[in-house]
Structures are given as structure tokens and as C-alpha cells.
């Protein structure tokens, strides 16, 4: 029987109802992945905006990004815990990480390649000065500075994206042990 105006076909309503749990499971990690990507990119942008003179912030950035990632993964898995097994939670973490990684890559590349194109060179110079002031041997200084001088915006952005995915997976594997559906359901 054809549907009247304003009515859904029964089949579509059934699909919507049955897939509601699945769409909720996917929407939570996507939402948190978007949040993580934007927050991590903002932290990266602020770090670059502070410049090489704030070398300590650049050194602390990976730790801050890791803590933020773990907190956001925890919040996401807490929302999906009632319906997801451990492997489901690991999949949720992978989705969250993949969504965040795309944002991290694009916004980090824009930050380092477009907005602050001299940031990596400035960091290399600041690092060379700091290491020389600390009294390190010239060959050790040269090795550190050379690795920084070889860094590119794309390479740094890719490393950030990979780090985001790996951190999400490791955090999700651990958090998923505790935040998952009960086995007795």
C-alpha cells in the first residue's frame, strides 16, 4: 500500500529503529573524534603561535596532547560502554582516532606549512642555542639540530596523525577492559 503524504514507509521506519543502536555507537566516537581533532589542533596552533621562545611548551606539547587524547577516549567509551564489548570499544577507539587523525593532519599542516612556515626552522635554532648553553658536545648538538632541520610540515603533521591513532588504540584497549558491556547480558 502506498504511503500517504507525511508518512514513512513501514520498512524505512523498521530500519531506522533497528539501526538506532548502531548509529549511536558510531556517532559517539565520531563526535568525540571531531572534538579531539579540534582540541589537539588548537593546542598545536597555540604552541606554534607562542614561538620558539616558548621552547618548554613545545617540549610539553606531546604530553598534553596524550593526556587530552586519553581523557576524550575515556569519555567516549564511557558513553558506549553499556552496548559495546571490548572489541566494540576498541573499534570505537579506532573510529575516534581515525576521525581525529584526519583533522590533526590537516590543521597541523595548515599551522606549520601555511600560518607559521618558519616555526620548524625557529625551533631548530632555539634548540641549538639551548643545547649549546647546556654545554652539550657539538656533535650531539649537530645531530639534534639536523633532525629538526629535516622536519617538514607534512612529516610533523603525519607524525601527529599517527600518534593520535596509536594513542587512541592503546587507551581504548586499556579503558575498554573496564568500560564495556557486562558478559552476563
What is the C-alpha separation between 164 and 99, in angstroms, rounded? 10
Greater confidence, 25 or 117?
Answer: 117
Give the pTM.
0.79
124 pLDDT exceeds 90?
no
What distance, in Å, lies between the first and last C-alpha atoms of the chain? 39
- Report CA-CA distances (Å) from 137 to 131, 132, 144, 147: 9, 8, 11, 16
pLDDT digits (tens, 9 = 90+) for 61-71: 889 999 999 99
pLDDT digits (tens, 9 = 90+) for 13-52: 333 334 455 555 569 999 999 999 999 999 888 888 887 6
4 Cβ contact partners less than 8 Å away, ≥ 6 residues apart: none
Q: Where are the domains of the chain?
A: 27-178
Per the prediction, the chain carries an average pLDDT of 83
Whether the Cβ atoms of residue 84 and residue 25 lie closer than 8 Å to each other: yes
114 pLDDT exceeds 60?
yes
Amino acid at each position: 500500500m502506498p504511503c500517504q503524504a507525511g508518512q514513512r514507509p513501514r520498512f524505512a521506519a523498521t530500519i531506522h529503529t533497528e539501526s538506532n543502536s548502531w548509529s549511536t555507537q558510531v556517532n559517539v566516537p565520531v563526535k568525540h573524534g571531531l572534538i579531539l581533532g579540534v582540541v589537539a589542533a588548537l593546542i598545536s596552533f597555540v604552541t606554534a603561535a607562542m614561538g620558539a621562545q616558548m621552547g618548554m611548551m613545545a617540549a610539553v606539547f606531546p604530553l598534553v596532547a596524550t593526556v587530552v587524547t586519553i581523557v576524550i577516549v575515556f569519555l567516549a567509551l564511557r558513553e558506549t560502554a553499556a552496548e559495546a564489548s571490548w572489541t566494540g570499544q576498541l573499534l570505537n577507539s579506532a573510529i575516534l582516532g581515525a576521525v581525529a587523525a584526519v583533522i590533526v593532519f590537516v590543521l597541523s599542516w595548515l599551522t606549520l606549512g601555511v600560518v607559521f612556515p618558519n616555526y620548524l626552522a625557529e625551533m631548530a635554532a632555539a634548540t641549538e642555542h639551548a643545547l649549546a648553553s647546556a654545554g652539550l658536545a657539538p656533535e650531539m648538538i649537530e645531530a639534534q639540530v639536523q633532525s629538526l632541520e629535516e622536519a617538514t610540515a607534512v612529516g610533523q603533521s603525519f607524525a601527529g596523525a599517527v600518534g593520535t591513532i596509536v594513542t587512541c588504540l592503546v587507551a581504548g584497549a586499556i579503558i575498554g577492559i573496564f568500560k564495556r558491556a557486562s558478559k552476563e547480558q
